[in-house]
Amino acid sequence: MRTLTKSLVLGLLGSAALFVAGCGAALPPKELLDARSAYKTATEGPAAKESLVELHGAKQALDSAELAFLEKGDGQETVDRSYIAVRKAEFASAAARTAVAAREKKEAEDEAQRAQIDALKKTQAELANAKNDLSATRTDLTKTKEALEREAAARAEAEKRAAMALADLQKIAAVKKDDRGMVITLSGGVLFRTDKADLLPPAMVQLNQVAEALVRNNPDARIQVEGHTDNQGQAARNDELSKQRAESVATYLKGRGIAADRVTAVGRGSSKPVADNTSVEGRALNRRVEIVVEPPKESK
Amino acid sequence: MTKLFLRFALLGVSVAQVACAGNFPPPSERLSSAEAASRSAREMGAEKDPKAALYLKYANEQIDQSKALIAVGENRRADEILSRASADAELALQLAKEQSMRAAAKEALDKLKALRAGK
């Protein structure tokens, strides 16, 4: 039995040796080597993922070429089948590259579509913001217009009041306008005795009218009372007397309803004459009290 | 006697050859298939791509070669060559498709870049 097994093994080995020796005589043709190489390249490339069906076709073509070589050696049939196997392997690789390109195209198109949608949304948002801005601007414009109208009305009212005040005061005193504001000039001779600062009774009547007009027409205006003298006597005395007279008038006005914080008094002495001091008439004009009503501040 | 034997022998070989050729019909179907693949490749623009154009050229040459073989009754060889021609034509077609798809992908990418650049 052992002898039989040994003989069988030897026989098989001998057959294998003869088979190998026989094949060794026919080396694979270049076309088959190319086919093997092309298939290997295909399996190592994107075809392994992207084109499995085509790669399977390439494998079948290569197997067919290998079979032809085993059965019939390196003849024309092996060459033909190898030739076809090379094409099939390259076909699989090309199909894979095509699939990759198709995917890249789709991804780019999808991304472009998303970018277009985003751009559209951005434009819509900007449009909405612009509409809101426009609406806010319109509201501001309306408010500004209303404020301007109110301001114009207030200014017209103030001007009207000033005109009325001027008209009222012109009835009782000399009234003029200069860069200080409205100036009501009261003669010193009417208001005071010589070298005195106490108001005479007629002066009080006149000042009552002035105070009434100021309260009615200029309730918010600041008022400065300025005392003036002629140039007779000592300047220091004139300064003091003019100051005392201005304070007398200011105090009286405060007593007639004009807010104390709105009224100030200053003495100018003989420093600001309005007429020639060399004549009696001129000196009489220079002895005076001026009530300066400052123009109302511009509303902002 | 010897000459007569030789004549019969040659006649027998010729008859055998004709009989063999007669057993393999003309590969009309494979020829049509190869020609269709070649036409498709050309229509897909294979002639514009150098590599595809080369395989298309191989296919057409082999189709012509097979037609000549069919004309002289070499149908089996014509059939084998047509198999090669079909493989070449199909590869040419696939390469043309690849080029077309690559161009389309590039166009899509360029469009995307332009969009991103805000043009």
Taking all residues of chain A, what is their mean pLDDT, rounded to a whole number?
Answer: 87
Q: What is the mean pLDDT of the segment spanning B89-96? A: 98
Query: Which residues lie closer than 8 Å to B115 by C-beta, 6 or more apart?
Result: A112, A115, A116, A119
Please list every residue in chain A whose beta carbon sits closer than 8 Å to the beta carbon of residue B109. Answer: 104, 108
- Tell me: pLDDT of B12 over 50: no
Sign of CA pseudo-dihedral A211, A213, A219, A225: negative
Are the CB atoms for B95 and B55 separated by under 8 Å? yes
- A158 pLDDT band, cuts 50/70/90, is confident
Among the partner-chain residues A76, A90, A98, the one whose CB lies closest to the CB of B97 is A98
Residue B90 at interface with chain A, using a CB cutoff of 8 Å: yes
Picking from B83, B101, B113 by the largest number of A CB atoms within 10 A of its own CB, the best residue to mutate is B101
Residue A139 CB neighbours (<10 A): 10
- Tell me: pLDDT of B74 over 50: yes
Pick the most confident of A174-178, B5-9, B15-19, B44-48: B44-48
- B106 pLDDT band, cuts 50/70/90, is very high
- Tell me: pLDDT of A82 over 90: yes
Give the residue ranges of DSSP H helices in A171-234. 188-191, 201-217
Residue A84: the pLDDT is 98
Residue A146: the pLDDT is 95
Higher pLDDT among residues A190 and B86, named by residue: B86
Among the partner-chain residues B94, B98, B108, the one whose CB lies closest to the CB of A108 is B108
Lowest mean pLDDT among A175-189, A219-233, B16-30: B16-30
A191 to A206, A258, A282, B17, B61: CA distances (angstroms): 9, 19, 17, 161, 137
Residue B101: the pLDDT is 97
Residue B70 CB neighbours (<10 A): 19
- Closest among B35, B34, B11, B17 to B76, alpha carbons compared: B17
For B119, the 3-state DSSP assignment is coil
Q: What is the mean pLDDT of the segment spanning B36-47? A: 96
Q: How far apart are CA A85 and CA A8, in angstroms?
A: 39
- Tell me: pLDDT of A172 over 80: no
Under the phi-then-psi rule, with left for phi > 0, alpha for psi from -120 to 50, and beta for the rest, what region is A273? Answer: beta
Please list every residue in chain A whose beta carbon sits closer than 8 Å to the beta carbon of residue B74. Answer: none
Say yes or no for a CB contact (<8 Å) between B83 and A116. Answer: no
- Tell me: pLDDT of A164 over 80: no
**Helix and strand numbers, DSSP H then E, in chain B:** 4, 0
CA dihedral A280, A205, A184, A217 (to 10 degrees): -170
Say yes or no for a CB contact (<8 Å) between B104 and A94. Answer: no
Pick the most confident of A42-51, A162-171, A230-239, B18-27: A42-51
Give B94→chain A minimum CA distance, Å.
6
Under the phi-then-psi rule, with left for phi > 0, alpha for psi from -120 to 50, and beta for the rest, what region is A266? Answer: beta
Please list every residue in chain A whose beta carbon sits closer than 8 Å to the beta carbon of residue B52. Answer: none
Are the CB atoms for A186 and A203 separated by under 8 Å? yes
Residue A236, amino acid: A
Q: A2: burial class by Cβ within 10 Å (0-12, 13-18, 19+)?
A: exposed
Please list every residue in chain A whose beta carbon sits closer than 8 Å to the beta carbon of residue B90. Answer: 87, 91
Residue B20: the pLDDT is 45
Nearest CA in chain A to B117: A115
Per-residue tokens: A227? 């005392």
Say yes or no for a CB contact (<8 Å) between B80 and A105. Answer: no
For A185, the 3-state DSSP assignment is strand
Say yes or no for a CB contact (<8 Å) between A84 and B83. Answer: yes
ipTM topping 0.90: no
Are the CB atoms for A199 and A261 separated by under 8 Å? no
Residue A157: the pLDDT is 86
A68 to A75, B62, B88: CA distances (angstroms): 8, 21, 20
Please list every residue in chain A whose beta carbon sits closer than 8 Å to the beta carbon of residue B112. Answer: 108-109, 111-112, 115
Query: Which residues lie closer than 8 Å to A164 by C-beta, 6 or more apart?
Result: A217
